[in-house]
Amino acid sequence: MRNLLKKITGLGMATMMALSMGVVAFAQEAPGYVTFFKSGSSTAVSMTQKAIADYSSKVQVGDNYVYTINLQTFEMTKMGVSGEGYMTGITLGSAAKNAGITASVTNGGDKLIVSVPTNLVINGNSAKYDAKIEAEVELLWGIKFDMPSSVNLAITDSQLTYSE
């Protein structure tokens, strides 16, 4: 009797695990890619784009597309000063907040999570929204300083890269 109860319990747990994994497997993928444009531009990609290494996930969660992005350090130059930078935070403008977009840098600066309402993304593209990126840059001499940058955040149907 005891062995039968163990088998039933084990089978029940295995079934629950399979069902929960099946739900994840059937989650709909979010369209497009998070793109940072230079402030005021709808075509020039910002240097901030170099902070994106790859995507952990792009899924639809309810009425939102959620993009989980792995961040990397990147070489950046601003006002003639060069160094290795990394994203430390993001602040969305009021239009983005009012539209229901959220974004945050998490896991000690290793991930960027962006959530966009599904109704804002049409054919893999969204409008562009003002945002401010907080970044820290370390110069060759080991001196660190904050380097904020104004950008436009958007979802684009193709993965764009920064080029100088």
The tokens for 80 are 């003639």
Residue with tokens 């402030």: 39
pLDDT in tens, 71-109: 999 887 767 777 888 999 999 999 999 999 999 999 888
What is the pLDDT at residue 95? 97
Q: Rounded to 5 degrees, what are φ and ψ at 137? A: -120, 135
Q: Tell me how far apart the alpha carbons of residues 17 and 111 are, in angstroms, rounded to a whole number.
A: 27
Q: Tell me how far apart the alpha carbons of residues 121 and 157 are, in angstroms, rounded to a whole number.
A: 9
Q: Which residues pair with 114 in a beta bridge?
A: 67, 103
More confident residue, 131 or 76: 131
What is the pLDDT at residue 102? 98
User: Average pLDDT in the 63-78 region?
Assistant: 90
pLDDT in tens, 3-56: 444 444 444 444 444 444 444 445 799 999 999 999 988 899 998 999 999 999
pTM to 2 decimals?
A: 0.80
